[in-house]
Structure 1
Amino acid sequence: MTSAEADDPTYQRKVAFAFAFLVFVAVTKTLLTKTVFVDGVPPVAFSVFSCVVTALCMLPVFLCDPSQFASLNCDMLLGFIAVCVFIALDLALTNVAIAMLSVALQQCIKATSPAATVLLESLWHRVCHHPLKYVLVVLLCVGPILTTLGSSSYDSTPLGVFAMTLAVVAGAFKYVLAHAIIKKYQKTLGTFAFTFWVEVFVAIMLTPWAVLNGEAEELLIGEWAHSSNDWALLSFTAAYGGVRIYSQFALLEFTSATTLAASNVAIQAITILLSVWLFGTEVTPYLAAGVSATIVVSALYTLLSLTRAFDRPDKTEPLTTLL
């Protein structure tokens, strides 16, 4: 974002709308997803179903407005596939975690994304960040530990915690690569076409996983669906996943990945508070302390990132002042 854009009221309104839209969509998508998993929907198969439904919903848009469609070319294919691999892992593992964990615990673990991002950048680019950043990264990991200690066996399983931890790592790669690809090809590909091709490629990548572990069969003929209303809710939630990823890409198109990170603080806080109320999560002292620590440290980390307090005068701006 240039200084001229920052002072443009029209541009500011677009950023504000994209920010608010992302927060609303992200919160409601997580809560809807948890609702369908409570009903017994298998998570990986649902991930595939979500991608397929979203791609199908986008086809009429391309038919009505062909200018929205763009094909992939050989130059962008390698980078695009790399993005889709990490998006697929992030999507599937996050859904597995949501199915197995309370939303409060899942969101607290998700809040450790900066730890994965900073570690990734330090190793990949051999960059030494501001010491305060490493301190806050360590503190970000305290919240999930406390939340886990304060969660019942129903709200926390080792496999769910492991899946969400892997999703955090995949998400760190996803944000770095997606931001670079969008900025490089946004004029030739566009956000809408980018979202469509992501859904297609991710569905292809996750289908073998869903078939081999038996979830595809369970989704199609399992006992979770008792009426057409169940399928209607599942289809709506699946299509809403496309809105979720589009809202992320749209915000990245208008602003930096750091602003996307700022939205995550609001998303986490609102999602956790609503989930405790909606799903009857038992609030223990450890759980309250873990959630509070996660929200406070996440907000502080994001504030310092946005005010460039982590910048070092002898270093160029890091690629991932991101999460």
Structure 2
Amino acid sequence: MAAVLVAVMTMGLAACGSKSNDSAPADTAEKTEEAADGEETADAEAADGEEKYPEGYTLRVGMNCGAAPFGWTQDDDSNGAWPIDGTDQYVCGYDVQVARKICDTYGWNLKIIKTDWDGLIPGVVSGKLDCCISSLGVTEERLQSVDFSDYYWNNGCVMVVRKDSKYANATSIQDFAGAKVTSQAVSIWLPLVKQIPDVQEQPGLGEMSELFVGVSSGKLDAIITGLSEAQSGCMSNPDLTYVTFEDGKGFDVELSSLCAGIPIAKGNTELKEKVDAVIATMDHDTQLEMMTNALNQQPLSDGSDAEALTAEETKDVTNE
């Protein structure tokens, strides 16, 4: 199984908006606002002339909590999982490691608020969240509402198929002409479906678990997603694999729009500079170790025979 998970393309792009097939459903944006209701923004908490983010500050982080290997919900604090505010559950994964690293650096307390995808950016804009760490790609549309930190993860764009399908040996998106293809709704991946010639575009689905089941059952021929999510899904679903494409044979995408950053309120340079300073310490080897740990710690479906990934097998999803 490990050989299936070796990335054969050079890295470049980061995914967002996918969900794990083992995670609990995310709360609605309205619930996120209720959970944070009554909390003051950093500006209101800081007196004139005082530091906005002193040691002991509670950083309010929005997180989807349902996107392995970036974050998944579990019932205990094993593997460095962190409590989800207002619940008796925990969230674990790459994004949690990033959030903890930021807070540990400055002596801050960490509060993770479970938030639907479409509530993350509004939560930052309203001031109810200081930031959100949820594998969100940096797009021009999002930059109209928030600022972003430097990139903290890079990924690749792939297609997930059944191992026994005719698409398992595809080398170009042209090979998917006439195929039934989709991705997650409200994601950066879904618009790419239209680039496939004569594609039978299917409606976007809400959770990654639905997408993987769709491919396994034959209702879908393929889905488009990020390499990290594909590795995660194939570890948990042994009948699936993913295909990658050489330059010029894949999707036409802006690399920056698929690189994950941390949304921060417009003009909040103090928090952005602090977050960027921590990201700057996360070199290639550090990111590689963090993602490899997340992939190997994720919960797997019954019957999965996945072997633990090595850093060598994960290396192509990080920047040199």
Tell me the TM-score normalised to structure 1 length: 0.28
Which of the pair is proportionally richer in strand?
2
Structure whose residues are more often helix by fraction = 1
- TM-score normalised according to structure 2 size: 0.29
Q: Name the structure, 1 or 2, with higher relative contact order (CA <8 Å, separation 6+).
A: 1
